[in-house]
Structure 1
């Protein structure tokens, strides 16, 4: 199929874990993101701010891809753009809040859609918010392994040459295949069900593997 970005995207092959190698999917994802102006603005801002171990992750990436694949407006269904970084030198909320304000100031047109979080301090507030403990993370990418769905676990940033670097610990076949697949590392059943119900309404083409089943 041809997306509104003009890229030819063979979703059947990209969504099949065995049809093409993962490097092809990684390259194709980078190609798609390069065509989306606001995503590139975010990636350039992250790089310019020189935040430690900083990435754009999750919905702002995979939902952007789904909109491209289905020909929908690029911001359709996107609640926020999650920016994560890892700084263990100061775990105070005040320092994190200062970073949040810096990020928002650098992207004023997108500030209402940005959610910036220091992954080094998530364990300090997670249990109070979600009712269960959360281990201290080792780095920003460590957080991806805890997401409710393996499909959500994708991150991007610009490397030193200005090219998009992508990290996806569970691969990208489910993203391109428009499949939500549970991740059982954390007991995230409620979160998974709530997210899958919302996404199924926004992207009816989506298939959802029920919590408790193996993909």
Structure 2
């Protein structure tokens, strides 16, 4: 995904404007589901995981508090659960603060 251009099309496609991202981490920070907010630096192998890896390892899907979009979140969770039925969707109360 070319994150430098997301702000140009995201609003028209999803109905919510996004800021222009200045860093790769800005784009990752806005991913819809918290446990997917991961980035690996190809050249050095560094890991960027602002929510740590706990939810990913335990199959928990939480809405990202920086990108609260319940309809898109539910749709994406359903897609993930079709592929990986053991995933669990956490209640909306989990969006209050990153864990």
Same fold at TM > 0.5: yes
The whole-number CA distance in structure 2 between the counterparts of 1:178 and 1:187 is: 20
- Alpha-carbon distance in structure 2 between the residues aligned to 1:179 and 1:186: 17
TM-score for the superposition, normalised by structure 2: 0.83
Q: In the alignment, is residue 151 of structure 1 matched against residue 35 of structure 2?
A: yes
- TM-score (ref. length: structure 1): 0.41
2:68 is aligned to: 187
Could you list the structure 1 runs, at least 4 aligned residues long, displaced by more than 6 angstroms after superposition: none
What is the match of residue 57 of structure 2? 176
- Which runs of no fewer than 5 residues in structure 2 stay unpaired? none
Partner Cα separation in structure 2 for residue 189 and residue 178 of structure 1: 19
**Two-structure CA RMSD over aligned residues (Å):** 1.6
Deviation, 1:159, is 2.6
Q: 2: CA distance between counterparts of 1:147 and 1:133?
A: 14
Query: Aligned ranges for residues 1-215 of structure 1 at < 5 Å?
Result: 117-160=1-44, 164-210=45-91, 212-214=92-94
Q: Could you tell me how far apart the structure 1 residues matched to 2:65 and 2:54 are? A: 18
**5+ residue gaps in structure 1?**
1-116
